Amino acid sequence: MLAIIGAVAVMGGATLYLVTQARTVTVIVDNNAVQTRTYAETVGVLLEQLGVSVGEADQVTPPLDALIAPNTIIRLERARTVFLQIDHETVPILTTLNNPAEILQQAGIVVGNNDRVVVDGTETTPSGLSGWPVPVSHIEVRHSVTVQVVEGGEARLIQTTAATLGDALFAAGITLYTADTITPPLNTSLMNDIEVRIERARPVTLIADGETTQVRSQGATVGDALAQAEIALVGLDYAIPAETAFLLPGMSVRVIRVREAIETTDVPIPFETIYQADATLEIDNFRAGQAGVSGVLQQRTRVRYENEVAVEQASLEDVVAQPAVNRVILYGTNVVIRTIETEQGAREYWRVLRMYATSYHPAALGGDNITSIGKILQKGIVASDPRMVPYGTQIFVSGYGVGEIADTGGPRSFKLWVDLGYSDADWRTWSGYTDVYILTPVPATIDYFLME
């Protein structure tokens, strides 16, 4: 037998190992090392044979097309997702880098000394990025912009990384009043250098709702000043001076509140209970569909108040302030056929009723052995209220067997009952609640409220 030996060829100064003999190779994937022997020629072929997928951003050393020499160590470092939020845009990138400065450089993001940088929720300085001690997953960079503020004919420059114009002015210590006019609006996003103009309003004293407020207004009338201060005159409210009066610097405006109260005596309106079928709910099961809420009938009197003094009263007609909401109870109409083992073999049933069971036999009836529908009383004949369980219904009772509703009896103290029939020879006494299985077929008409 010929021995297979390795051969080495030199081509263009590079050593080429012909695949004639298996070589020992160490593969390290995310710091997990495994040693294997392979006939593969290149790193890529070996990783494919090992079922190791390589993503586009993953880093493989040596590269995938490198030839495999004996005792080669192959390292695969998986790329991970890092989210870059640059100004107003967030993008995910795949990278094997961990340091935020290197990641930003790889993504082509330039960070200036005035820019704001937040790494994984922690604000840092641009110079602190290169020495970041742990791998990062989220980097936020907000580039600074220049805001020129023009006020009263004078201009000043603000260098800011704030997200909006309002944030930038606040950070710069510029106080703004509600009625001042700012162009552009305070919620303007700062993406580029902009110019902002501030026009100051006139001071006015507003007395309303027990409070004195100093405001500034650019309006022409008292009504304009109230509107800018978001003080509304509702209904019959009025102001002194009137809303139409011209606004003067230093003016005091007093607001008079006028209200009309409806004094009521509430009378409850009872709710009703209604039942609704639910085809998803199994028969003999009930659940609340809607809670009942009593309504409210109001007997009302209108009272007019000016400065909290009652000046006028008038009776109003009764109204239904809140209609009653009916209580809704859902009852199941889903009939599920199941099987139970009986003395006559497996029988299908479609309903189980919890009924009070007694027993009877001819001797207990003075020798009468004819049922109400003319059948002979013996085991298998069962009496019940035919309004609850119709004549001819087949039932099964554990410990009794299969029976047929073929008799009835006098009034009972409980709604659901069965009287299990026997002959005199095999009679046994029953007294207590038991499960009664109603056997198929399912009747065309079903009383869904037997268990309610």
Most distant CA pair in the chain, distance? 124
Q: Choose the weakest-confidence range: 20-24, 326-330, 383-387.
A: 20-24
Residue-wise pLDDT tens digits, 278-321: 999 999 999 999 999 999 998 888 898 887 888 889 888 888 98
Q: Around 198, how many Cα atoms within 13 Å sit in the side-chain half-sphere? A: 21
Which CATH architecture describes the domain 80-142?
Roll (3.10)
Residue-wise pLDDT tens digits, 123-163: 888 887 888 888 888 888 888 888 888 887 888 888 888 88
pLDDT confidence of residue 121: 84
* pLDDT over 80 (residue 30): no
The DSSP element (H or E) to which 265 belongs, if any, is: strand 258-269
Q: Choose the weakest-confidence range: 12-26, 147-161, 357-371, 389-403.
A: 12-26
Percentage of the chain lying above the pLDDT 90 cut: 38
Please check whether residue 117 is in contact with residue 111, taking contact to mean a CB–CB distance below 8 angstroms.
yes
Give the pTM. Answer: 0.41
At residue 20 the predicted structure's pLDDT band, cuts being 50, 70 and 90, is low
**DSSP-assigned letters across all residues of 426-448:** T----EEEEEEEEESSPPSS--T
* pLDDT over 80 (residue 87): no
pLDDT confidence of residue 376: 96
Same fold across 8-77 and 80-142 = yes
Residues in the chain: 452
Question: Hey, where are the domains in the chain?
Answer: 8-77, 80-142, 145-199, 206-256, 261-332, 336-439
CATH of domain 336-439: 2.40.40.10
Q: Which residue has the higher pLDDT, 448 or 88?
A: 448
End-to-end CA gap in the chain = 92
Q: Which residue has the higher pLDDT, 264 or 330?
A: 330
Q: E strands, 128-221, where? A: 138-142, 145-151, 154-160, 181-183, 194-199, 202-208, 211-217
- Parallel, antiparallel or unpaired: strands 238-240 and 258-269: unpaired
pLDDT confidence of residue 278: 95
Q: Indicate the class that CATH gives domain 8-77.
A: alpha beta
Q: CA–CA separation, 303 vs 312, rounded Å? A: 6
pLDDT confidence of residue 295: 94
pLDDT confidence of residue 330: 95
β partners of residue 436 = 353, 397
**For the domain 261-332, what is the CATH superfamily, name and number?**
Resuscitation-promoting factor rpfb. (2.20.230.10)
pLDDT confidence of residue 420: 97
Residue-wise pLDDT tens digits, 71-86: 899 888 887 888 887 8
The number of angstroms, rounded, from the C-alpha of 205 to the middle of its chain's C-alpha atoms is 48
Mean pLDDT of 412-425: 93
pLDDT confidence of residue 14: 45
Q: Which residue has the higher pLDDT, 115 or 443?
A: 443
Given strand 202-208, what is the order of strands in its sheet? 211-217, 202-208, 252-256, 238-240
At residue 422 the predicted structure's pLDDT band, cuts being 50, 70 and 90, is very high
* pLDDT over 80 (residue 389): yes
* pLDDT over 60 (residue 397): yes
- Share the mean pLDDT of the chain: 87
Q: Which two tokens stand for residue 88?
A: 């107003």
pLDDT confidence of residue 403: 96
Residue-wise pLDDT tens digits, 150-201: 887 888 888 888 888 888 888 888 888 776 788 888 888 877 788 888 887 7
* pLDDT over 60 (residue 8): no
pLDDT confidence of residue 15: 47
Residue 378 DSSP code: S
